[in-house]
Structure 1
Amino acid sequence: MTVYPELTVTIDNRPVQWEEIKHWKAKRALVVLQLFADYGQKVILKNQTLLQDAFHDLSDDDLIQAAKETKLALGPNKILELLQDEFKKSDEMWHQIIARTPQDAPLKEMHIQLDVKGLTITKIAQINIQNGFKTGLSNKEIAILEKAYDLHPEHYVFSQKRNIQDVVETFGEYGSPTHFNLMMLDAKEEKFLDKIDPRTKKIIFGKGLLASDQFDIQQYALHQFIPTKDGLHVDLGLFAPAGVPDTAIVGHQRHFAIEFSSLFINILKQMHSQPE
């Protein structure tokens, strides 16, 4: 039985329940744990070091928690240092993708849909989302990292200065982790104006560049928040170069599903815990 029936996720016209999405999340957490183990790093769960042979015995919850604890223990600077070779492979992949994409080829477009009953844009603004991620640490950067790690295991590094997000994640569960700079832009001033639903009240729009050389990877995210009669509808859109493999596009559907379902589940938990 779904714990949070207020949340409905639709991918390719198929309703997907939170239990399935959470299992996707755990499988990606295992990828993270294996990557750090391959680099000779300790994997930590509940402040204890895990043996690599024990990974397959962990529950979904423990896999997700271990990925979070391990990344927090390493810290972003160590993670960036460890993954330099992965970034080089990923940067080369993106340069190859753009090289094999015809100049005038249309972007590949992908969407998934989320509906949340009882939630409005105003309520999202009123809820202190950070409350769901407290661990007694007062450092603001650590709090932001915790939030990013809770949303998706394959968020390795996250920070934001002004309109630029510095992010390390695996695009579409494909290849090596990529070090991105995501520029948050005004979609109404860009070429995506025709993609905006007239009912939309809030937009998140970003463009990806490689952090190493600011290479334009021609990848965009356009997320639209639309009020409904009983809550909120969210259209999560991805636009990527024609040279990106379809497997990566499908993988990023799952990435969005994990990331935003985790966000709304944490908001719903807070709403459930508050007195009427």
Structure 2
Amino acid sequence: MSFKSILSLAALLPFVTAQASPYSETIDGYTFIKSGPNVLLPKIQYEMKFAHTALSILKTSIGPDGLIAALQPEIKKADTFWHDVIDSSTGSWVPADGRGIAFLPNLTAIRFAAWSQSPLADAANNDANPEHYVKRTIALANGTLESEIVEGWGGVTTHFTIPNYGTPDRVKNPFLRELPEFPIQAAGDKVLMDGTIFGVLHISVRDVKGADYGQEHDGVEIYASVWYGDGVADAHLEEEREHITVEITNLALQAQKDIESGVFNPPF
């Protein structure tokens, strides 16, 4: 081997050694062996990163009003979907439930509740779930919150308001669970833009002991339920259950980041 060849090989060695070992995974029943990135991960993890980047750019560039205009065909389909659910319901209500416990060093139940009612929660909304498009919230004089939202669950892209998010009204909505173990609770009607109530949102939060779960930090449990008329298919409720768990995780993470960075100064 010539001296020049040895130098060429030596120049390549750092590149070769920097590469991770080939990674094997099964996708759609077929085996793929890949290499290249320094950190090899399942394809879906790269794909989700790129998808979140693309969605964030698109949503920010188009803006809330542009998204509402662009999504009108889907919103009209969703209006029909919800009216069909209402028409086929018997008067009973059924929930889509999602729960999550987050063990984060700066987050408590009262801090999460305060953050979730701040403008930062709206700012984080679009990144909390790919099917979040618009959330605009104002505080009302009576202490409740009013939000305009465009959000989808498995493609049922719905434009609605929550005009009365505050203390749960169990006289009006007796199906809401009491949940005495959750000291912080809020609920509100989900109202289509034509004024039709099609659901009720109920969110409950409490602190949990980290030691009970083998964790270093105490945790926050977030319990979200969305109630609909019993004409809704369980397949749709399952879409919402999945949606809720993604949203709980991402919002808890963002609240932690905002507290840690000093962007949000919790009152407690």
Cα shift at 1:267 = 3.3
Contact 1:227 1:233 in 2 (8 A): yes
Q: Summarize the alignment of residues 228-247 of structure 1 with structure 2, pairs less than 5 Å apart.
A: 228-229=208-209, 230-247=218-235
Report the Cα distance in structure 2 between the residues aligned to 1:129 and 1:271, rounded to whole angstroms: 14
1: CA distance, partners of 2:220 / 2:187: 18
Equivalent positions of 1:139-158 (< 5 A) are: 146-158=123-135
Q: Is the 8 A contact 1:144 1:159 kept in 2?
A: no
**Matching residue within 215, 238, 243 for 1:250:** 238
- Identify the residue that residue 65 of structure 2 maps to in structure 1: 77
SS of match in other structure, 1:195: coil
Q: TM-score, normalized by length of structure 2?
A: 0.66
Q: Is the 8 A contact 2:93 2:228 kept in 1?
A: yes
- Per the alignment, do residues 206 and 128 of structure 1 end up closer, same or farther by CA in structure 2, a change over 3 Å counting? closer
User: CA 1:252/1:145 → structure 2, altered by over 3 Å: closer, same or farther?
Assistant: same
What is residue 161 of structure 2 aligned with on the other side?
A: 181
Residues 263 and 128 of structure 1, relative CA distance in 2, 3 Å threshold? closer
CA contact (8 A) 1:204 1:224 kept: yes
- Contact 1:181/1:208 (<8 A) preserved: yes
Q: How far did residue 71 of structure 1 move?
A: 0.7
Q: Taking structure 1 as the reference length, what is the TM-score of the superposition?
A: 0.64
- Relative to structure 1, is the Cα distance of residues 174 and 192 closer, same or farther in structure 2, using a 3 angstrom cutoff? farther
- C-alpha contact (below 8 Å) 1:129/1:266 kept by paired residues: no
RMSD over aligned Cα, in angstroms? 2.9
User: CA–CA distance in 2 between the matches of 1:127 and 1:121?
Assistant: 10
Deviations 1:83-137 (A, max 9, x none): 22222111111111111112x3x2112322211235312443687998xxxxxxx
Gaps of 5+ in 2: 1-43, 210-217, 263-268
| Superposition deviation, residue 234 in structure 1 | 1.9
Q: Which residue of 2 aligns with 1:23?
A: none
- Residue 178 of structure 2 aligns to which amino acid in structure 1? I
Larger radius of gyration: 2
SS in 2 for 1:78: helix
Could you say if the C-alpha distance between residues 273 and 86 of structure 1 is closer, same or farther in structure 2, counting changes exceeding 3 Å?
closer
Among all aligned residue pairs of Structure 1 and Structure 2, give the percentage whose two residues are the same amino acid: 21
Residue 202 of structure 2 is aligned to residue 222 of structure 1: yes
Q: CA deviation at 1:64?
A: 1.0
The answer to whether residue 42 in structure 2 is matched with residue 65 in structure 1 is no
Q: Could you tell me how far apart the structure 2 residues matched to 1:114 and 1:57 are? A: 21
- Partner of 1:124 in structure 2? 112
Q: How does 1:255-274 map to 2 (within 5 A)?
A: 255-269=243-257
